[in-house]
Structure 1
Amino acid sequence: MSYTFQFGEVLRYWPLLVQGAINTLVFSVIAMVAGLAIGVVGASCRISSSRVLRAIAGAYVEVVRNTPLLVQLFLFYFGLPALGLRLSTSQAAILALTFNTGAYSTEIVRAGIESIHRSQIEASTSLGISRLQTFLHVVLPQGLERVYPALASQFVLMMLASSVVSAIGAEELTAYGNRIQSENFRAMEVFFVCAAVYLGLTYLMRVLLAAVAYVAFPRRRALGSV
């Protein structure tokens, strides 16, 4: 069987591919920032002295980690309208990605927080620093620094997993790829190009995350381990 590749039939749609790549990055960055914020709050609840907060955070983590992202996406897009809350495809996509990322970030951040030796907390207390200040200025920065590589890897995986939002018609790279191949019927070439774009986005995301680490963690920068 012979097959003639015709990538020109795909590359002439380059404006759609560029827009899809931009949308993928936008979805991913929003979900990354919001998911990290949820992760910090969730990790705080997971180590809280309150049994109620620990139970709520634990249930959230277990539900998200043991259900498919696609099902979570469908719940936001098809389920919420039944409760009177109708979302656009982009809104549902961002919420689902954030909801999912938040649970994984919760466990990663919790591991970082728990890795901080108790002596540092005791030293802060002896200096008259409040528990909140100790958490925000001593424990959390060091905890995030220690688990940053794991967080960065999780964010990259989330960006790649964002392709599932095309199932509800959210306009990201895979959705545009589907649209292109439905017009030119060159599925092989279309998804080869999409794969190449995802590789480029992955590299770009890693560079951006490394830049964030360079700015946020001076000690890692000094040690050359960003």
Structure 2
Amino acid sequence: MNYTFDFSSVLAHKDLLLHGLWTTAKLSAFATVLGFAVGTLVACIRLSQHKAARFLATAYVEFIRNTPLLIQAYFLIFGLVSVGINLPILAGAVIALVINVSAYTAEIMRAGIESIHKGQLEAADCLGLNKAQTFFHVVLAPAMERVYPSLISQYVLLMLATSILSAVGTEELFGVSVRIQSLTFRNFEVFIVLGVMYLVLSFAVRFLFTLLGKFLFPRLRKLGTPL
């Protein structure tokens, strides 16, 4: 193979790469926070006593988990335009990510909530805790602690999935890399740089979540349990 690598022309567009990196980070951060909130709510609805609400929550989870993220993004960003609803591309991208990841979060959190023994709820009632205190301190916090490694993996995958949204015009890391490729014609170099940046970003996201877990779950920190 007679090919000479030249990364200088790719790195000359470092400002564009940093812009894409920042957009990826913003999309991931907003989608993670909102997706966790929506997913936890859906998980609670799936475990409620209301059959109609349970059915709707289950249908939501199954529909989202069994359809591609790209189709969901196309529907939100381009499909709604046909009915007069115009969403900025970034807003549509965030909403698409939130809808997608919330379905997976709901299943993870449902497993965590179902792992809480009923005896703990009875103990909370005996201690005189109200429903809100019981939910946050006896149900939600321990449930999240038990499934936290799964949540970390899911949100790392979410960050990587932002690359799909370049297909709908989002200028995240993959999207700007395609632009750089068309400007430099250095395909190998562009995708090597892109792969390294995604790898570093994945480790950074996992590291930040690990630090957050040590702050949120002091019991695991004292036991030295890996997250």
Query: Are residue 112 (structure 1) and residue 118 (structure 2) matched?
Result: no
Q: Deviations over 1:58-79 (max 9, x none)?
A: 0110001000111111011111
Show the counterpart of 1:167. Answer: 167
Normalised by the length of structure 1, the TM-score is 0.97
Q: Residue 101 of structure 1 corresponds to which residue in structure 2?
A: 101
C-alpha displacement at 1:55, in angstroms? Answer: 0.8
Between the two proteins, what is the percent identity of the paired residues? 47
Query: Residue 167 of structure 1: SS of its match in structure 2?
Result: helix
2:180 match: 180
AA matched with 1:24: T
Structure 1 position 223, deviation (Å): 0.9
Structure 1: any 5+ residue segments left out of the alignment?
none
* 1:1-226 equivalences in 2 (<5 Å): 1-225=1-225, 226=227
* Distance in structure 2 (CA, Å) of the matches to 1:129 and 1:66: 39
Q: For the residues of structure 1 that align with 2:132 and 2:126, how far apart are their CA atoms?
A: 14
Q: CA deviation at 1:54?
A: 0.7
The Cα RMSD (Å) is 1.0
1:10 corresponds to which letter in structure 2?
V
Give the AA of the match of 1:196.
V
Deviation per CA, 1:121-142: give whole Å up to 9, x if none: 0111222323332112211000
| Divergent runs of 4+, >6 A | none
Which amino acid is 2:50 matched to?
A: S
Cα distance in 2 between the residues matched to 1:124 and 1:171: 49
Question: What is the distance in 2 between the residues matched to 1:15 and 1:202?
Answer: 20
List per-residue Cα deviations over 1:22-80 (Å, max 9, x = no partner). Answer: 11011001100000001110110010001111111101100010001111110111111
Superposed CA offset, 1:82-136 (max 9, x none): 2322111111111111110100000000100000111000111222323332112
In the alignment, the residues of structure 2 paired with residue 79 and residue 125 of structure 1 have an alpha-carbon distance, to the nearest angstrom, of: 49
Task: Report the secondary structure of 1:116's partner residue.
Answer: coil
Count of residues in Structure 1 that have an aligned counterpart in Structure 2: 226
Give the TM-score taking structure 2 as reference length.
0.97
Which SS does the other structure have where 2:174 is aligned? helix
**Cα distance in 2 for residues equivalent to 1:61 and 1:5:** 46
State the alpha-carbon separation in 2 of the partners of residues 68 and 157 from structure 1.
Answer: 14
Rounded to whole Å, the distance in 2 between the matches of 1:184 and 1:127 is 67
Distance 1:211 1:127 in 2: 32
CA distance in structure 1 between the partners assigned to 2:81 and 2:169 by the alignment: 16
Deviation at residue 180 of structure 1 after TM alignment:
0.5
